[in-house]
Amino acid sequence: MLFRSRQHMLARAKNYAEAQRIKKIADKLEDKEKSSMETQTAAIFARKEAQFRQQQQAELQALLATSAESAGIPDAAVRTEGAAEVEGVPGVWEVSGRLAGSAAGPASSALLRELSRHRWVRVDLLEIRDDGTDRLQMIVRGYYRMPVEAVAP
């Protein structure tokens, strides 16, 4: 800012050569500051994005665990496998999760009913073994919209 005012003052005094020299210095400093600000902004948004992914993974994991427990599947093993931005839909993220456990027919039906109440959850795969073990395996995807303040400009 100081260089710009000095540049204008020199130009008004018709000292154009010195004003041009000061302008070049000011332009270089301005470019350096702009680059630094862009780097800092990118780091802030990357950090917010990582926090968002972790939060959504934890949310899907908690939903699957509580849904399994309320459906009568106490030994359910739940894990999330990652989050990725949905291609072609900016600001929307997809989180994948797996659920495995022992479930008799009514428990698996109750689990599906519970999950169907959440419009943002999709069951991709449901496998129920009928070999006496009643093992249930499920792959689920949850979709989350990133908060506006966390989306990079």
| Nearest CA-CA partner of 72 in 129, 134, 121 | 134
Find out whether 89 and 106 touch, Cβ atoms under 8 Å: no
pLDDT score recorded for residue 60: 94
pLDDT score recorded for residue 151: 52
pTM: 0.70
pLDDT tens-place string over residues 88-147: 988 899 999 999 998 877 888 899 999 999 999 999 999 988 777 788 999 999 999 887
Cα separation values, 87 from 28, 121, 151, Å = 38, 17, 15
Provide DSSP, 54-105: HHHHHHHHHHHHHHHHHHT-TT-EEEEEEEEEPTTSTTEEEEEEEEEEE--H
pLDDT band at 148 (very low <50, low <70, confident <90, very high): low
